């Protein structure tokens, strides 16, 4: 069964910009902030490219020029870039646009502001999905509360592995955050399996500047 990675990198960056203004810092998209030896988004892409997925799609929207200026030359042969049109859409639309540009049976869905999620964890998500009794009825997802077979989708988000076409049916004509859609999928009887993180930092997204500083420690 083929699997592709879809990385969403299209957000407004509004909380980070607000924090940067409050701290009198230069305004910079959170995805191009330094992280380890690269940037936040490059670290996320590298971890995804090292996984067992077959290809990688990055979905851009707001600040696409700023992001592409930093990463395009280094990844143009390895990553397919897709741009939202119109730009001002919700996360569900960004993910749908990415899924529309792959042919794989399954998708590893990631947000670009999760540079601490390791290749090992991505591979664990893929393995759990592919080894399940019914992969086309299973969502393998980074746990937030408990690991193993889940009895709720509350509080869940990316990264996760899902059957592409089935997921697209839920995303189509939606323009929302992801959790309400995941709850709807769960209510329809899909099996959700929570995969344990390698370390606690894998559970953190970079929304605020303080989040970014915490992940640098």
Residues 69-86 have a mean pLDDT of 90
Q: What is the pLDDT of residues 159-176, one digit of tens each?
A: 999 999 999 999 998 888
Q: 3-state SS of 83-140?
A: ECCCCCCCHHHHHHHHHCCCCCCEEEEEECCCCCCCHHHHHHHHHHHHCCCCHHHEEE
- Indicate the pLDDT class of residue 74, thresholds 50, 70 and 90: confident
Mean pLDDT rounded to a whole number for the chain: 94
The pLDDT value given to residue 137: 96
Residue 95 has pLDDT above 80, yes or no: yes
- Indicate the pLDDT class of residue 189, thresholds 50, 70 and 90: very high
- The CA distances from residue 115 to 12, 164, 188, in Å, are 18, 23, 31
Residue 81 has pLDDT above 90, yes or no: yes
pTM above 0.85, yes or no: yes
Residue 1 has pLDDT above 90, yes or no: no
């Amino acid at each position: 069964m083929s699997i592709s990675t879809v990385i969403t990198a299209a957000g407004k960056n509004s909380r980070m910009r607000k924090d940067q203004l409050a701290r009198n810092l230069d305004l910079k998209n959170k995805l191009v902030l330094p992280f380890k030896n690269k940037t936040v988004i490059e670290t996320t892409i590298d971890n995804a490219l090292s996984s067992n997925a077959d290809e990688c799609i990055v979905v851009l929207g707001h600040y696409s020029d700023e992001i592409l200026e930093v990463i395009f030359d280094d990844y143009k042969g390895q990553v397919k870039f897709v741009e939202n049109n119109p730009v001002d859409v919700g996360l569900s639309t960004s993910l749908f646009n990415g899924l529309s540009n792959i042919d794989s049976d399954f998708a590893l869905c990631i947000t670009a502001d999760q540079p601490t999620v390791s290749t090992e964890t991505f591979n664990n998500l893929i393995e759990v999905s592919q080894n399940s009794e019914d992969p086309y009825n299973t969502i393998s997802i980074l746990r937030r509360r408990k690991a193993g077979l889940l009895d709720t989708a509350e509080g869940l988000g990316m990264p996760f592995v899902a059957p592409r076409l089935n997921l697209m049916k839920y995303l189509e004509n939606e323009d929302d955050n992801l959790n309400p859609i995941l709850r709807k999928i769960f209510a329809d009887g899909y099996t959700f399996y929570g995969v344990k993180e390698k370390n606690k930092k894998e559970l953190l997204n970079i929304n605020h500047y303080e989040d970014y500083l915490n992940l640098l420690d």
